[in-house]
Amino acid sequence: MSAVLPRVTPRRAMPEPVAALRLSGAERARVHMLASLLLDYPDAAWFARLPALREEAAALPGALREPLHAFIDAAEASGEIEWQRRYVTTFDLKRKCSLYLSYYATGDTRRRGAALVTFLDAYRAAGWEFDAAELPDYLPAVLEFSARSGSDIADALIAAHREGIEVLRAALEGMTSPWAGLVLAVTRSLPPVDQRTRDRFFELINEGPPTETVGLSFLGELPPYRPVRQEGP
């Protein structure tokens, strides 16, 4: 007699937030700057920077250096056209792989306008002006802000959106995406996850970002993104 198939299958184990490493301020700034550059769109200039970025990553501890080097190896092996195709497929077409941090908390809802203003206010409070072609919650921009400013405000901004970073990492790991190693390196550089963040992380993994699409006319009024820069000399 054939075996009876179960009506239910075991639930797949949920991904856990990554344990933090003890890093110096310089090491943390280095990994954030490298991740900022490597998470950006892979155009010809991006590929030209890879040898220099590999050298910069060589100075990091192995748990950070190895995923960065593996990512660079994979990009160089794939080539520009294929890597660009994979980038668009990964970050533009999947809700849980957004590079815009406020999206995880607000989705495409009317609350996102206030969230984006909070990012602009954070840059300005630290003495920096946001002047770029992306929205201010763009993860590479936030990581650059953290790396270059060394500001407690940058730390607070990242901490406030830690759940989104963890959801992005988990989604990329679930796809066995090469970009997962970059976000893994970032999460290893951050403080341990508290219980509230852990609970919200699991909620977002299950449900995804909110989906209301009302009241987004403000998006066209926000300033374009170029790398953040400090005001004054």
- Read off the CATH number of the domain in which 72 is found: 1.10.3480
- Could you tell me if residue 13 is inside a domain? no
Look at residue 163 in the predicted model and tell me its pLDDT: 86
CA distance 120 to 122: 5
Look at residue 213 in the predicted model and tell me its pLDDT: 35
Q: Which residues does 185 contact at the CB level (< 8 Å), separation at least 6?
A: 31, 34, 35, 64, 67, 68
Contact present, 71 and 38 (Cβ < 8 Å): yes
CA distance 142 to 159: 11
Where b means 16+ CB within 10 Å and e means fewer, 82-111 reads ebbebbeebbeeeebbbbbbbbbbbbbbee
CA distance 208 to 40: 23
- Could you tell me if residue 9 is inside a domain? no
Residue 71 belongs to domain spanning: 25-230
Low-confidence residues of the chain, pLDDT below 70?
Answer: 1-20, 107-110, 193-233
- Could you tell me if residue 17 is inside a domain? no
- Could you tell me if residue 1 is inside a domain? no
- Could you tell me if residue 10 is inside a domain? no
Contact present, 78 and 178 (Cβ < 8 Å): no
Number of domains in the chain: 1
- Could you tell me if residue 3 is inside a domain? no
Look at residue 8 in the predicted model and tell me its pLDDT: 34
pTM of structure: 0.76
Look at residue 18 in the predicted model and tell me its pLDDT: 56
- Could you tell me if residue 212 is inside a domain? yes
- Could you tell me if residue 132 is inside a domain? yes
